[in-house]
Amino acid sequence: MRLLVTGATGFIGTALCSRLLEQGHSLTLLTRHKPPEADTGVKQWLHWTPGVLREWGDAVDGADGIINLAGEPIADKKWTATQRRRLEKSRVDATHSLVQACASARQAPKFLVNASAVGYYGPRGDEVLTEDAPPGEDFLSYICRNWEQEAIRAEEFGVRVSRLRIGIVLGADGGALVNMIPPFKWFVGGPLGSGKQWMSWIHMEDLVRLIIYTIENTIAFGPINATAPNPLRNKEFSRTLGKVLHRPSWLPVPAFMLRLGLGEMADILLTGQRVVPAAAQKFGFEFRYPELRGALQACLQH
């Protein structure tokens, strides 16, 4: 297939594009800043600025599909007013531009796989959340809701739209796990706050496989929770990570310390969602790493 990918140089995008190339797909990567080490003999890189079609807009015409992973990292900076706008603009405005390109194309892509996040649901305590659950009311819910609404507009032009609500992605080369491991190695690892908050996670291998499954199967559309079938409370997650690392999990990080250091962004860590992948399981996707211990062991063996 001829595929367009945004966010291709990120944690998820790098792993996904590597797999897609192995499978023989032709990739056009839309990027604001072309990496200096980019292999242009293997991948086509096009500079893109959301809101201005130009050359990248032409690439949408006749493409088989789009995978939209673009978005400013959520947890890299405090949520100042400026940063809030960056987080929203990098997702909502970018998706709007892609949909506009679909509208302008003589032959629109067959599908759009659009990233979203479990933050869509907001803090929900112990409630089990399938794709039918309504959105929350906090800042991340607001972004995800608007993000998905922009993606849905592509359906007006005959595009099959899949909205992947992605959980905490576990991988060996980046993401949340890189920041979780050091405290445990220094024997000071433990739960965050009360430790009662739910963590909905997915191994990178399963996320890549789920995206490819979504590309290849026309039944995979609408909202899809990209999480493993067995979410855990933060306390149990920390205990399992400690066991895999052969370290104790005994030193809780007080909620006030997280809020002091991170501000409102600490709520990502102190609240959570108990998300289950009902849609993925319904259309027959099989997880390679349904349990956390096996997922962590696979990550740490690399």
Alpha carbons within 13 A on the beta-carbon side of 10: 20
The reply to whether 71 falls in a domain is: yes
Phi/psi class of residue 89: alpha, beta or left (left: φ > 0; alpha: ψ in -120 to 50)? alpha
The reply to whether 189 falls in a domain is: no
The parent domain of residue 206 ranges over 2-171+200-230+274-289
CB of 51 closer than 8 Å to CB of 244? no
The reply to whether 101 falls in a domain is: yes
Q: In terms of Cα–Cα distance, which of 180, 161, 156 is closest to 169?
A: 180
The reply to whether 36 falls in a domain is: yes
Tokens of 173: 């080369």
The pTM for the full model equals 0.94
pLDDT of residue 238: 94
The reply to whether 134 falls in a domain is: yes
Number of structural domains the chain divides into: 1
Question: Mind listing the pLDDT tens digit of every residue in the chain (302 residues)?
Answer: 999 999 998 999 999 999 999 999 999 998 876 665 555 444 688 888 776 767 788 889 999 999 999 988 887 788 888 988 989 988 999 999 999 999 999 999 999 999 999 999 999 999 999 999 999 999 999 999 999 999 999 999 999 999 999 999 999 888 888 888 888 888 888 888 889 999 999 999 999 999 999 999 999 999 999 999 999 999 999 999 999 999 998 888 877 676 766 676 667 787 899 999 999 999 999 999 999 999 999 999 86
Tokens of 69: 């992973």
CB of 3 closer than 8 Å to CB of 69? no
pLDDT of residue 247: 92
Find the CATH number of the domain harbouring 60: 3.40.50.720
Q: Quick one: how many helices (H) and strands (E) in the chain?
A: 12, 14
The reply to whether 243 falls in a domain is: no
The reply to whether 236 falls in a domain is: no
Tokens of 211: 């995206």
The reply to whether 299 falls in a domain is: no
